[in-house]
Structure 1
Amino acid sequence: MAAIELRNIRKDYGSVNVIRSISLAIASGEFVVLVGPSGCGKSTLLRMLAGLEEITDGDLAIGGRPVGHLPPAERNVAMVFQDYALYPHMSVAENMGFGLKMRNSAQADIDARVSDAAAILKLEPYLDRRPGQLSGGQRQRVAMGRAIVRQPEAFLFDEPLSNLDAALRVEMRLEIAKLHRRIRATTVYVTHDQVEAMTLADRIVVMNGGNVEQVGAPMELYHAPATLFVAQFIGSPTMNVVECAVLASRPEGIVLEVQAGRADIPVVRAGAAEGRVTLGMRPEDLSPCTLEEAWFSGTLSVVERLGSQTFGYLDIGRDQMITVELPRDSRVEVGDSLSVAGNAAHAHLFDVSSGRRMATAGEGSAARNAA
């Protein structure tokens, strides 16, 4: 497998700039996931790697070889698309080996590679069937097998699980994880599903508006998001964010005016906080408390009981709702009054104007835990 290097990659459609000078190094054998909202440019970037979109400016190298000027067939990468793109009149074996046949490979070599890929993906019983006789998950495995038999330098996945139902998505996510552990292929995977990103990736690239917001290991992004956008994109339910006034700033931390009282937050760079800041708290870092200890108080508008978890959605006024993770056997009901306080060591602070993160005292331990 080969490393991939993007240097100042840009993509324009006429006067519209959709990818804005992205540089990224992907190590050989690494699994990198591109995530972001619709329209952020993640699929366009993947298609430029594959050669399906021209690069407006910048350099692309795979295995140390410049490939930005080469057509798709000469880049030695394999792409798995959102739809399966299988030939309905061909058998599974014929579909998997078709690319090799088009390259005039020897039939014995085609048969051997198809057999090996079928064993990896547990497709041996289905090699004589046609796509119409397979389930959605089996068809996606055939599409993956077609990529594997090419023995490419890199695999590119463009939202391969989005057409599957929930149960099949979980099954195929596990299959992809096991496949990567087995063959250690350099992989670039596009998805809008953060669960796929968090569970599959060695590193996640969060994109927004054609830019890279942050690159890092999954738990690094979860515990230490660089921007407010990343903080609210990574994590489910999303991080709670509330704009607060700074009441006092001391060497050891700052005091914020929160909705129901005051919050004393330890901060590494206390001098950076003044005026107003955005306070972020994950639902699991808020817990019920007395009214005297409360950071937030209000009425429960919705209670979600998921079996292993219970989430309460607390209306704190000013048309603002915050999410609290409650004990799974909690007996709270909609309409109940609730007061909650945050774990100050796990608070996240962001600059109001730029949305950039301000380092907190718990950040060092969070980074160690992420590693």
Structure 2
Amino acid sequence: MAQIRLERLAKRYGSVEVIPGIDLTIGDGEFLVLVGPSGCGKSTLLRMIAGLEEISSGTLRIGNTIVNELPPADRNVAMVFQDYALYPHMTVGDNMGFGLKMRNAPSGEINERVTKAAEILKIAPYLERLPGQLSGGQRQRVAMGRAIVREPEAFLFDEPLSNLDAALRVEMRLEMAKLHRRMRATTVYVTHDQVEAMTLADRIVIMNAGRVEQVGRPLDLYHRPHTLFVARFIGSPAMNTFNLRTEERSGVLGVRLQESSVIEIPAPTVQPCGDGAPITVGIRPEDLSVCEPRDAWLTGETVLVERLGGQTYAYLDVGAERLVTVELPRTSEAMPGMVLSIAGRTDAIHIFAENGNRLNRDARLPG
């Protein structure tokens, strides 16, 4: 396998710059996930690595080779597409071995590699079937098998699970995690699903409008988002956010979520922002809990209670056309219409400047 290096890699369509220039190193054997909203440039970036999109400027290295001008077939990478891209008239075995056949590999070697990949992916009984005789999950395994038999330097996945139902996505995430642990292949994986990103990735790249917002390990992004965009994008349910103005006091920063209460945050834990400065305060649903009214940060009427088995969430109307999400104990008897008081810990609060950059000084840890 190989390291992949992007050096000021950019993409333009005429005068429109969709990726202004990205610097990124993907380690040998790393599972890196590109995630972001639709249109952020993640699939375009993946296709540039694959050679399916022309690089406008910058340098792309796979291993020690600059591949900017190399056609896809010469980059020694394998791509798995969202729609499987299987030949409907070929058997599973022929589909998996087609790339090797086109390279004039010996038939014995092709059969050996196909059989080995089919056993790894648990599709050996289906080698003589046509793709139309398989389920969506089985077809995706065939597409993955076709990539594996090539023994490439890197695997590229473009939203490979998006066409599967929820149960199959969970099953395939498990299979892909097991496959990566077994092969330790350099992998670049594009998805819009943050659950896939959080469960599969060694590192996540969060993209926004063609730019990299933050790169890091999944839990680092969750607990220490560098920007408001990352804070809002990572996490389900989403982080609660409030657009406020600061109230500076002696040694503390005052944050007023409702008129009835002011939260005092030790000033040394937050970068100076001045009295009355516009800020955004964020807190995750699991960092809030029901409390006595005298201790409340927020009080509101329950609009909806979402019981998911493992978690229970309440959505509170706290006024000013604002809903706040709080995680409740699974045994909670909260019902719509009930008035709840909630509070949390000051070290669980995220504070962002008007430009969206994080102001917290502390290296916040989980829990």
- TM-score band (shorter)? over 0.9
Classify 1:249/1:81 alpha carbon distance in 2 versus 1 (closer, same or farther; 3 Å): farther
Structure 2 match to 1:172: 172
Mapped contact 1:254–1:273 kept (Cα < 8 A): no
Find the aligned partners of 1:316 and 1:78 in 2 and give their Cα distance.
Answer: 51
Deviation, 1:270, is 3.9
CA distance in 1, matches of 2:134, 2:173: 18
* Structure 1 position 249, deviation (Å): 4.3
Unaligned runs of 5+ in 1: none
Alignment-derived partner of residue 14 in structure 1: 14
Alignment-derived partner of residue 332 in structure 1: 334
Tell me whether 1:93 sits opposite 2:99 in the alignment: no
Between the aligned partners of 2:262 and 2:37, the Cα distance in structure 1 is 35
Amino acid paired to 1:306: L
Mapped to 2, the partners of 1:360 and 1:263 lie a distance apart of 17
Matches within 5 A, 1:116-265: 116-251=116-251, 253-259=252-258, 260-265=260-265
Tell me the residue number matched to 1:113. Answer: 113
Q: With structure 2 as the length reference, what TM-score do the two structures score?
A: 0.97
Aligned CA-pair RMSD: 1.3
The amino acid across from 1:17 in the alignment is E
SS at match of 2:59: strand
Q: Relative to structure 2, which stretch is displaced further, 233-242 or 342-351?
A: 342-351
**TM-score normalised by the chain length of structure 1:** 0.96
The one-letter code matched in structure 2 to 1:359 is N
1:268 and 1:359 in contact (8 A); partners too = no
Find out whether 1:319 has 2:321 as its counterpart. Answer: yes
Q: In 1, distance between residues paired with 2:76 and 2:159? A: 20
Is the Cα contact below 8 Å between 1:267 and 1:359 reproduced in 2?
A: no
Task: Write the letter of the residue equivalent to 1:72.
Answer: P
- SS at 1:237's partner residue? coil
Q: 279, 282, 299: which is aligned to 2:281?
A: 279
- Matched residues, number: 364
2:78, 2:155 within 8 Å by CA — same for their partners in 1? Answer: yes
CA distance in 2, matches of 1:311, 1:269: 29
Alpha-carbon distance change, 335 to 364 in structure 1, aligned in 2, over 3 angstroms: closer
Inter-CA distance 30–264: structure 2 relative to 1 (3 Å threshold): same
Decide whether the 8 Å contact of 1:6 with 1:59 is kept in 2: yes
Q: Would the aligned equivalents of 1:7 and 1:58 in 2 still touch at CA under 8 Å?
A: yes
**3-state secondary structure, aligned to 1:167:** helix
% same residue: 62
342-351 or 230-239, larger mean C-alpha shift: 342-351
Q: Which 4+ stretches in 1 moved above 3 angstroms?
A: 266-271
Unaligned runs of 5+ in 2: none
The aligned residue for residue 29 of structure 1 is 29
TM superposition shift of 1:271: 5.0
* Residue 342 of structure 1, CA deviation: 1.9
Residue 118 of structure 1: SS of its match in structure 2?
helix
